[in-house]
Amino acid sequence: MSRRRGFTLIELLVVIAIIALLLSILMPALQRVKEEARTVGCLANLREWNLVCAMYTEDNDGKFWPGYGSTGYWWPWQLERRLLDWKMNKTWFCPTAKKPIIDENGVTAPTFNVFNAWGIFTNSAPDGTPAPPDGVAGSYSINGYVLTIPTNATFEGGVHARDGWRTPNVSGAGNVPLFIDALRFDLWPLENQSPAEYEFAAWSGNNMGRCCINRHVGFVGCSFLDFSAKTVGLKELYTLKWHKTFNTAGRYTLAGGVQAGDWPEWIRAFRDY
């Protein structure tokens, strides 16, 4: 009878080396597949919000939600409660950012970055409308310039109401943001606002910084007034028509002569627009 022998140490090391090599090749591909799946899920959520907006405007003379007071804050509080329930309505959350920065016990996470959702907000709106029992949370924002505020008012940042959109029935709707990945539920970007200094900076009063976040490897999910949805490059955000007088050829665009040194270091490697 022939004698069976096991693997030698060298043979085992060769097998381990081959496995390690295969893993090094496959892991980046698997990560890309996972990110593509998260991006597809994000855009699917944004299309659902497009439907919510379309139905609302059809029932309200073609206009978006009114703002409380003069600036258009607190629009989520005006949603039907079934839509506002973030525990049931999972379309509030980009698959990359599903955990609110403040939990149900009111405890704030030690860090707040692009992979956090905003909320949980439990305070009442200025007109007294209470938040739902579980509060409000999510990872998308509305472009505040689409909200219907009083005609003699101004949006945050000083843009006049006449330069807001109010309705999706406008020329160039495919370049006007509607909903977008963001660190708060509302935002009013201005063309001279730079991205956050650090990639994982917390939310601040910088409205462009609320959505210029590296949530999808150099891109964010965004829907538009024509009710389409796609990913948008971070630097491309400066070329979108946020409000009627927004300068899409401003200092942070190729048309405006942007230079690499004008950007914070973390964003410089991404494509210019």
pLDDT tens-digit map of 19-71: 777 777 766 666 676 888 899 999 999 999 999 999 999 999 999 998 766 56
User: Coil, strand, or helix at residue 102?
Assistant: strand
pLDDT score at 29 = 63
The pTM assigned to this predicted structure is: 0.87
pLDDT score at 70 = 59
What are the CA-CA distances from residue 62 to residues 38, 59, 154, 170, 204 (Å)?
A: 32, 7, 21, 11, 32
pLDDT score at 7 = 66
Helices (H), 97-159: none
Q: CA–CA separation, 170 vs 230, rounded Å?
A: 19
pLDDT at 176 over 70: yes
Other beta carbons within 10 angstroms of residue 71's beta carbon come to 19
Give per-residue pLDDT as tens, 142-152: 999 999 998 88
Residue 18 structure tokens:
């081959």
Mean pLDDT computed over 101-105: 82
Mean pLDDT of the chain: 89
Binning pLDDT at 50, 70 and 90, where does residue 72 land? low
Give per-residue pLDDT as tens, 208-251: 999 999 999 999 999 999 999 999 999 999 999 999 999 999 99
Portion of the chain with pLDDT greater than 70, in percent: 93
pLDDT at 1 over 80: no
pLDDT score at 124 = 85
Rg of the Cα atoms in the chain? 23
pLDDT score at 2 = 56
pLDDT at 117 over 70: yes
pLDDT at 262 over 70: yes
Torsion of CA 266, 268, 271, 273, to 10 degrees: 120
- Collect all residues with Cβ–Cβ distance below 8 Å to 68 and sequence separation of at least 6: 74, 77, 125, 126, 127
Portion of the chain with pLDDT greater than 90, in percent: 60
Cβ atoms of 184 and 203 closer than 8 Å: yes
Binning pLDDT at 50, 70 and 90, where does residue 263 land? very high
